[in-house]
A and B are shown apart, each in its own frame.
Chain A
Amino acid sequence: MRYLLMGLGVWALCLLSIMIYYPLTALVPFILLISLFTPPSGNSTTHKALSTLRSVANMERRRAGTLLGQPISEPYLTRENAEGTWLTIVLKDPATWRDLAWYLLHLCLALPLGIGAILLLVSAPYGAALPVVHLLRPQDLQGVVFDGIPLDTTWGPWAAVPAGVLNGLLGWWLLPRLALVEARIARWLLAPARKVLLAKRIERLTDTRSDAVDDRATELRRIERDLHDGAQARLVALAMNLGMAQQTIQEDPEAAAKLLAEAQGSASTALTELRSLVQGICPPVLAERGLLDALRALALQSPVPTAAHLADIPRQPAAVESALYFVAAEALANIAKHANATQAAVRLEHGSGALCLEITDNGRGGADADRGTGIAGIARRMAAFDGALSVTSPVGGPTTVQVELPCAS
């Protein structure tokens, strides 16, 4: 009901825009057609007309989207993937012409539907009032007919009461359905065409793919450097010590013993460094036990007491589990370093085709996605899986880092 009244409001707005911007309504399509063929040069009337059309269409998208429960995105070509002035882009955009089609259809539908809605609902109290009018001033009802009931008879006004109520009930039942039909028409004409949706998806996939490829290359370079400077260096030192020990073992057994002890130390350090390298690539507990136990292990090891509330989800592809694990690891590391928190929690939920991982803490908040690359890095990694990252961190806390990934199961 509210929807149709609002529809009436939009109709009124459309009417006003006709009276202000189109001096001669019938010439609108004609003017637009002419501007297609003439060089577009500051034809400000057309410009204003088209931007008004777009604003009205966007308002309608928001309204229909709210009613249908599903947002309708804008289908327009952006500056980046079209050339020419604003006017040529808009005129060449098929979405503009669909907007116009919707506008004309709406002109025809909105007025009757809106007025019909008001009439149906008003007829209940109107019918109820009729007997009173009949009793006080029956002459006003001479020749008046309500719903096919002549009101100048004695029984007429009384019969009008249930008739009015029936109208009201009919309106009550009918109007939401009409509103949905109208919203669906709006969606049909105003939502992005399949081609546009596909084009946008390809753009997004290209971006996230190149990000993912870059990330991989950076990571491999980091591993190479860590191995080169860490474990490889230690093993060289170890080999050296063993060689020297071999040489001096006859003449100076004590010195040889010391060198051997040093060699043991180098071996130990090399093992420790390799261990932390492996932890950064693929934590053993993740490979052995999967995401759930790996998250529990993270919670266990966190310096801040961390509770883990994990839904019992089926095993996911290794890449997804690894990505989620490192999100949690990064978030918990940030909490330990910056948050001054006394309590943290890791939540993993699963529903309506999406996995949701949430890390909260009761620290001082103020985490900024722009400062520091940690959070931005997480966002990039999630984009490769079509995932979304959101960080809520008001100053004073609490902070919530949430990641949502679509998943098949």
Chain B
Amino acid sequence: MRIVVAEDLAILRDGLIRLFSAHGFEVVASVDRGPDLVEALVEKRPEVAVVDVRLPPTFTNEGLWAALEARRRVPGLPILIFSQYVEPLYASELLADGSGGVGYLLKDRVIDVAQFIEAVRRVAGGGTAMDPEVIAGLLARPQQAAPLSRLTPREREVLLLMAEGRSNSAIADRLTVTEKAIDKHISHIFDKLDLPPSSNDHRRVLAVLAYLNPSGRSRSERRPEG
């Protein structure tokens, strides 16, 4: 699978290149500056890109802007943003265009290599990979307490994993139950929360996130200063 890596910290960039090569990815471009990134993404058309939010020259969110710009020019281009911290505002901007193939993870997640590679493959396939911390933050709000209390603890676990963008079989693996059990849980969840059922994983994520965060708005039109 062809991948583009954008990361300014050399040691981390090399580590990622080695990691991806070892798992059968072909690194077609590795970028350490914001301005070069959009070109690399649009020209090389990788199957997935892993992009750090903060890049030179401004060290603001060059990576995020480049990702949004590239997805404007090439709709649905799969990009996984990763960062030292997660900001729900950025997550909602990434999800704003409604098409799949988007991810937002903490750099910490590279510690669990298998999960990280799985997330990258999921994004490449048009799915979603949202960091559990973003989801947990959204779930923790009190106005969610009432409807979410209708869910059993197991269903809440499934909801979390679903909001991250995992497929039913991945969730089943993770919780070591059968896929049929997961299917049942999911249809219960959608019933209890009054959400329309959806087989498309990405649409599912959008529905769940929209449910959890009805006031979320994005402003993907702003350019960085400087």
Q: What is the interface of chain A, defined by CB distance below 8 A to chain B?
A: 264, 267-268, 271-272, 275, 278-279, 284-285, 287-290, 293, 296-297, 299-301, 303-307, 315, 342
Contact = CB atoms under 8 A, between A and B. Distances in A.
Contact residues of A: prevailing secondary structure: helix
Given A296-B217, A301-B88, A304-B143, 15 more contacts: A267-B111, A268-B111, A271-B106, A275-B85, A279-B85, A284-B54, A284-B87, A288-B61, A288-B224, A293-B89, A300-B92, A301-B137, A303-B140, A307-B215, A315-B225
A278 B224 CA distance: 21
Contact residues of B: prevailing secondary structure: loop
B125 interface: no
Interface residues of B, number: 29
**Residue among B111, B213, B224 having the largest count of chain A Cβ atoms under 10 Å:** B111
Q: Report, nearest first, the 6 A-B pairs whose CB atoms are least far apart.
A: A288-B60, A297-B89, A303-B141, A271-B108, A288-B61, A264-B111
Contacts of A299: 215
Contacts of A301: 88, 137
A278 to B, nearest CB: 7
Nearest to A297: B89
Contacts, number: 64
A303 B88 CA distance: 13
Given A268-B111, A300-B216, A293 B222 contact: yes
A293 B112 CA distance: 32
B215 A268 contact: no
A306 B217 CA distance: 12
Given A288-B54, A296-B219, A315-B225, A303 B87 contact: no
Contacts of A289: 60-61, 222, 224
B178 interface: no
Nearest to A285: B87
Contacts of B225: 290, 315
Given A271-B108, A289-B60, A297 B219 contact: no
B84 A284 contact: yes
A300 B140 CA distance: 13
A300 B213 contact: yes
Contacts of A271: 84, 106-108
Contacts of B141: 303
Contact of B89 (A272, A275, A300): A300
Interface string B128-145: 000000000100111100
A327 to B, nearest CB: 19
Contact of A284 (B85, B92, B137, B213): B85
A396 to B, nearest CB: 20
B192 to A, nearest CB: 21
Contacts of B92: 300
Nearest to A272: B108
24 contacts: A267-B108, A267-B111, A271-B108, A275-B84, A284-B84, A284-B85, A285-B90, A288-B54, A288-B60, A293-B89, A296-B89, A296-B219, A297-B89, A299-B215, A300-B89, A300-B92, A300-B213, A300-B216, A300-B217, A303-B141, A303-B143, A305-B143, A307-B215, A315-B225
